[in-house]
Amino acid sequence: MPKQSTTLTEIREHILEDLVKEIGMPRAEANSIAFCVVGTIRKKWGGCEGIYIPNSDQLEERDWKMWEMFNGSNYDEVGQAFELTGRQVRNRIRIIRPIAEKRDQAGLFDSYLAEAG
């Protein structure tokens, strides 16, 4: 495996420790799996710009503000407002869109269900 970045080394170490501590996997086996996972991350996303890993399952308030400002094509304009690149906004919108659409769809039938109930 090529020389790893500090970030990938840290990820590998965290995976290794979690596998050993959380599920009791033997250290040698956990180390092999951790190397495999980090290798996949490097191959799939190595060198990509703007990869965002959310720190929770919840969207941030900023994400909702970006969604409200977004008109379908104004990535750069939204990026300027939030000090992000157009590419970073595009990546965030890709994450926000299905959540926002699901949230908005749920509201379509609320009044009907209230009347029927």
Give the structural domain span for 21: 6-45
- Asked if pLDDT for residue 107 goes beyond 80, the answer is no
Specify if 50 maps to a domain: no
| Chain segment 54-83, per-residue pLDDT in tens | 665 567 788 899 999 999 999 999 999 999
Specify if 99 maps to a domain: yes
CB pairs under 8 A, 24+ apart, for 62-68?
Answer: 63/92, 63/95, 63/96, 64/96, 64/100, 66/92, 66/93, 66/96, 67/93, 67/96, 67/97, 67/100
pTM above 0.75, yes or no: no
Chain length of the chain: 117
CB 99, CB 59: distance < 8 Å? yes
CATH code of the domain in which 66 resides:
1.10.10
| Chain segment 2-22, per-residue pLDDT in tens | 555 788 999 999 999 999 998
What phi and psi, each to the nearest 5 degrees, are found at residue 73? -145, -5
Percent of the chain with pLDDT over 70: 79
